[in-house]
């Protein structure tokens, strides 16, 4: 399936979990994980994906501040993918913390 067609449910993320992940992405302590997630999702969009995830701003708000080299539906598709990668990185970090304790 094309990235553009992937929805949050394809990634196993519910609406409630999306809201929780978006809040976690705004926390400064998670900035490095968000940056990696954005870069892994789409290298060319990583800067604007990072802005969107860390501020909660959507395509149109970010586009006012920075050029987005993608259409709106593609931007959101890669943001969903970045959110999924962020979820995996958070799980990995949590497993590392509990495993070494």
Question: What is the pLDDT at residue 100?
Answer: 59
Residue 88, in any domain of the structure: yes
Answer positive or negative: Cα dihedral of 29, 31, 36, 40: positive
User: Per-residue confidence at 3, pLDDT binned at 50, 70, 90?
Assistant: confident
Q: Render pLDDT for 75-98 as a digit per residue (tens, 0 to 9).
A: 999 999 999 999 999 999 988 888
Residue 63, in any domain of the structure: yes
C-alpha torsion angle, residues 69, 74, 76, 82 (rounded to 10): -80
Q: How many domains does the chain have?
A: 1
Q: Render pLDDT for 9-27 as a digit per residue (tens, 0 to 9).
A: 889 999 999 999 999 999 9
Residue 101, in any domain of the structure: no
- Domain span holding position 26: 3-96
**Single pTM value for the model:** 0.90
Residue 38, in any domain of the structure: yes
Residue 51, in any domain of the structure: yes
Q: Render pLDDT for 31-48 as a digit per residue (tens, 0 to 9).
A: 999 999 999 999 999 999
């Amino acid at each position: 399936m094309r990235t553009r067609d992937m929805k949050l449910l394809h990634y196993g993320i519910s609406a409630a979990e999306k809201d929780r992940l978006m809040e976690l992405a705004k926390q400064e302590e998670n900035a490095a994980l968000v940056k990696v997630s954005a870069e892994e999702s789409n290298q060319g969009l990583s800067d604007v994906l990072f802005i969107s995830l860390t501020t909660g701003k959507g395509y149109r708000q970010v586009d006012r501040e920075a050029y987005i080299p993608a259409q709106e539906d593609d931007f959101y598709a890669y943001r969903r993918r970045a959110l999924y990668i962020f979820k995996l990185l958070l799980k990995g970090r949590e497993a590392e913390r509990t495993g070494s304790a």
